[in-house]
Chains A and B, each alone.
Chain A
Amino acid sequence: MSTAELQRRPVRSDRRRLTSASRVVMLASVYAFLYIPIIILIVFSFNNSRLNATWMGFTTSWYGTLPDHPSMLNAAEISIAVTLGQTVISTVLGTMGGIALHRYKFPGKRVFVYFLYIPIVIPEVVLAVALLLFFNQVSFPLGVVAMMVGHTTFTIPFVVLVVRAAMSGFDNSLEEAARDLGATEWQTLWKVTIPIILPGIIVGALLSFSQSFDDFTTSFFVDGMGNDPLPVYIYGLMRHGVSPVVNALAAIILAVTLAFALLGERMQRVGKLTRR
């Protein structure tokens, strides 16, 4: 016993050796690298100076001046319209697809699943130029609807993925029970299946929302003239030099996307807990 313990000790001390100062420094510096730029961006959105670099005191006035820029309001409206529209479409279609893929077997299912997931893995710029080409060839006008279509196309696979995952613990006998009790297919879907996987559907919707809201690449190609959503609008502003207004806007987008992502994470956990 004692020899075995002796032999094991070196490994334990190896684990402990990294607890030294160098390890703390290393952890701290990588976290600092990851977080400092974001923190500075947010802190300086409250800086009481037009020049961005030195701290002149706390103010919320940059947030207050946001509505004074009509072009910014326009960009915000476009962002919200595109994101809400595409979230509804991608959530509905993705949920239907996710349920169908869980429930049914059909020839070519594997290929179909691969096909659905390809947009997740191929570079977004390639999806974006293909859509630009498509809209151009069918003479579909670029703008809000084109962006909605583009965003929906790359968010649907994520919703399908999340809904399928939510259904993986789904007990098929619940649907059978509903039908034994005389429910139609339609009633089973609405009164049994959907309520049970609702947390998963909401997670999919939140994910879809945050991906669309901060999308740059697809919007950049298919937004057309004068329809810049917030990310593309900020890109334009940044090219003319920085201003605390940009910080304030960026901080808002950051807060929105992060809130939606964290909420989604929370929901996912709740969903897992309630299933047990």
Chain B
Amino acid sequence: MELRSHGDVSDVNQPRRSIMQHLKLHRANWMMWMLLIPVAGWMIVFFAFPQLLMLFISFMSQGEYGGIAYQFTLDNYIQMFSPVFLNVIWTSVEFSFIVTVLCLVVAYPFAYAIATASPRRRLFLLFLVIIPFWTSQLIRTFALMFLINTSGLLNTVLLQLHVITQPLNLLYTPFAVYLGQFYAMLPYMILPLYASIQSHLERPEFLEAAQDLGANPAKAFWTVTLPLTTSGIAVGSMLVFIPTLATFFIPLLMGGGKMEMVGNFIGNQFLSSDNWPFGASASVGVIAITLVLIALMFRFMKNAFLEES
């Protein structure tokens, strides 16, 4: 009612009132709290609190029968420097590094080929990359298991072609874990590389300059294209490296639990080993590493953005 009485178009105060209202829209009021409190509450109770609990438990001792003894200790963090755990970390880092490099080596020429296709075809080719991106990673892993297991299609075909005389034991080996992770991560590398190569090719001045100055295509690629697509390489590598570092179900399914990454190690502390406090400290460590890497990635993205503009 009040609003309506002021609603006269010829009102001199009209512009000022509208600005006031605009501000009111953005100022905290009961409606804001009503919208915000449920989601904030949920995330505090079921995300922040469990993580704080994890931090707390990481400073507690292991109980005699696998439970938690509420006594302060730094043992769990000291234990992170034990050969067993360092070995797990090393396995994970090495694994993530190799998977990232493999993805990069395959994805770069692939993304380049898409970026140089005709615009209409490009859209279709890109769409074909995005579909596996959306497809359940779990089912894609099952599909690989189905393909390479001892009685699977790959072995059957190879046997029938007399390439091999005995079925290959591919599943439940480190090779299978590499294959599974590579298969899952490849689209994550292709997409940022494509974006970066595409925007580079849209401004051919640099490449033209290099060729005018007598660089052959190989040299032009190494000295111009590759450096100018560093941001895509960096972002793609991070998008592959970070999830791979704490990958969980791919080593479990493809490796049959034989190849223990840090994600599986943490899981096992909570499931089979029953050393929850140590699992908690390892988990805190993984979160810390992940957040640092994410911050680095955003730094790269920001730099890339600044270069563009």
Cross-chain contact B110 with A26 (CB below 8 angstroms): yes
Q: A53-B156, A103-B26, A132-B270 are in contact. Are A35 and B132 (CB under 8 A)?
A: yes
Indicate if the CB atoms of A103 and B142 lie closer than 8 Å: no
Given contacts A52-B152, A133-B50, A134-B53, contact A258 B134 (CB under 8 A): yes
Residues on A with beta carbons closer than 8 Å to the beta carbon of B7: 180
A176/B22 in contact, CB under 8 A: yes
- Contact partner, A93, options B39, B112, B147, B249, Cβ 8 Å: B39
Are A153 and B128 in contact, CB atoms less than 8 angstroms apart? Answer: no
B291 touches which of A122, A134, A258 (Cβ 8 Å): A122
Taking a contact as CB atoms under 8 Å apart, the answer to whether A14 and B128 are in contact is no
Q: Which of B29-37, B75-83, B227-235, B299-307 makes up part of the contact surface?
A: B29-37
Which residues of chain B from 29 to 74 have a CB within 8 Å of any chain A CB? 29, 31-32, 34-36, 38-40, 42-43, 46-51, 53-54, 57
Closest approach, in angstroms, between the C-beta of A240 and any C-beta of chain B? 12
B168 within 8 A of A: no
Q: A126-145 toward B: CB 8 Å interface, digit per residue (1/0)?
A: 11111111100100000000
A106 nearest in chain B by CB position: B28
Whether the Cβ atoms of A131 and B46 lie closer than 8 Å is yes
Report how many residues on chain A are interfacial, defined by Cβ distance under 8 Å. 97
Contact between B155 and A122, CB atoms less than 8 A apart: no
Cβ-defined partner of B283 (8 Å) among A105, A129, A210:
A129
Q: What residues of chain B lie closer than 8 Å to A116, measured between beta carbons?
A: 39, 43
A-chain residues with CB within 8 Å of residue B116 when the two chains form the complex: 15, 18-19
A-B pairs, top 9 by smallest CB distance, nearest first, are A123-B246, A97-B39, A100-B35, A134-B50, A53-B156, A214-B136, A130-B50, A37-B143, A261-B134
Instruction: Report yes or no: B109 in contact with A11, Cβ–Cβ below 8 A.
Output: no
* B interface residues with partner A (beta carbon < 8 Å): 1, 3-4, 7, 18, 21-22, 25-29, 31-32, 34-36, 38-40, 42-43, 46-51, 53-54, 57, 106, 109-110, 112-114, 116, 125, 128-129, 131-132, 134-140, 142-147, 149, 151-153, 155-156, 183, 186-187, 201, 204, 207-208, 211-212, 217, 220, 242-243, 245-249, 253, 263-264, 266-267, 270-271, 276, 279-280, 283, 286-287, 290-291, 294
A253 vs B271: C-alpha distance in the bound complex, in angstroms? 27
Q: Residues of A with Cβ closer than 8 Å to B?
A: 7-8, 10-11, 14-15, 17-19, 23, 26-27, 30-31, 33-38, 40-41, 44, 51-54, 89, 92-94, 96-97, 99-100, 103-106, 112, 115-116, 118-119, 121-134, 137, 149-150, 152-153, 156, 160, 172, 175-176, 179-182, 185-186, 189, 210, 214-217, 220-221, 231, 234-235, 238, 242, 246-247, 250, 253-254, 257-258, 261-262, 265
